[in-house]
Structure 1
Amino acid sequence: MTGSVEQGISVTHGNEHTLHFTVRLPVPVSRVWPALAGAEGLAGWFTEAEVLEPRLDGAVTLRGLGSGRVTAWDVERVAEYTVEGGGRIRFHLERDGDTGTCLRFRHEFREKAGTGTEPAWRDRLERLVEILDGN
């Protein structure tokens, strides 16, 4: 089985946008977690985490998005980063069958419509799938 990024959902209310993606990965949660909750893992598919204190209310600085706080942290389950200029990025992991993982991704942000954020996230998440499928 190979991983997949399912159809994204985009919801807009005024200038508030929310993107949702479901990503199915044929690897256990213990292999996915470091890619979402560690500086080295994030740099491999998303962006460099110049600062990442892996705990609730820890500091985080994501290159290109800004600085902020870790606003949710449940080891091997939820990592959420809220950064000025980048909004709130949430990764929620669940078991998927005997050996797989379901990643429920959510990005809440304020921005002008038409900025291409949905395709950019799809590309990033597909890169994550490729990295985890290849290991």
Structure 2
Amino acid sequence: MTDLGTYVELDGRPAVRFERTFPHPVERVWRAVTEPGELVRWFPSAVQLEPRVGGAVTFSGDPYMEGSTGRVLAYEPPSRLAFTWGDDELHLALEPADGGCRLRLVNVLSDRSTAARNGSGWYVCLAELVKVLDGVPSRGPHSKDTVPWEPTYQAHVDAGLPSGAPIPDPVER
């Protein structure tokens, strides 16, 4: 299992943080993390966003958060995107690294007890992002052919990430 992510606090708020390096240029990874046709292949929801600070964000197709909305907090192509998602925030930062691109994903949480649950979800999603970037077919993070979520969740709990938030029933796709 690669890096599970880290529990951190940002300005006193709980968060989970991931860092991944890809052998792809920043511009390619930027498209994967901002374009709706790319996001739907690895992100937990289909995403439509107005590409500007203050722009609306709508999420659909996520069986756990159907119909949620947010606002763009930062939009600085091709290096930074941040938005609210319900009561959480998601921050994506890209920079050139090792001939490719380093992605930092930080999910600022509304409740620290969601760290293991959300961290496990992002772990699965980031595995799907690797497929997308490498040109491997991906049916998204809710499909049967992803990294299994349950052992990933247990690994996060075992690693000491805060837990205790309700776990939704699995969705088969």
Q: Give structure 1 stretches of 5+ with no counterpart.
A: none
Q: Give structure 2 stretches of 5+ with no counterpart.
A: 137-173
Q: Post-superposition shift, 1:101?
A: 0.3
1:130 matched to which residue of 2?
Answer: 131
The CA distance in 2 between the partners of 1:11 and 1:94, in whole Å, is: 21
Say whether the 8 Å CA contact 2:7–2:17 is kept in structure 1.
yes
CA deviations over 1:22-49 (Å, ceiling 9, x no partner): 0111100111111111211211101201
1:69 matched to which residue of 2?
Answer: 71
| Higher radius of gyration, 1 or 2 | 2
Aligned-residue sequence identity (percent) comes to 30
Q: Post-superposition shift, 1:83?
A: 2.5
Secondary structure of the corresponding residue to residue 83 of structure 2 = strand
Secondary structure of the corresponding residue to residue 40 of structure 2 = helix
Aligned pair count? 128
TM (norm. structure 2) is 0.66
Secondary structure of the corresponding residue to residue 30 of structure 2 = helix
1:36 matched to which residue of 2?
Answer: 33
1:93 matches 2:94: yes
1:57 matched to which residue of 2?
Answer: 54
Secondary structure of the corresponding residue to residue 45 of structure 1 = coil
Indicate the structure with greater strand content: 1
Q: Post-superposition shift, 1:80?
A: 0.6
Letter in 2 for 1:133: D
2:46 matched to which residue of 1?
Answer: 48
Say whether the 8 Å CA contact 2:4–2:119 is kept in structure 1.
no
TM (norm. structure 1) is 0.83
Q: Post-superposition shift, 1:84?
A: 2.2
The CA distance in 1 between the partners of 2:98 and 2:25, in whole Å, is: 10
CA RMSD, Structure 1 to Structure 2 (Å)? 2.4
Say whether the 8 Å CA contact 1:10–1:19 is kept in structure 2.
yes
Letter in 1 for 2:107: H
Secondary structure of the corresponding residue to residue 69 of structure 1 = strand
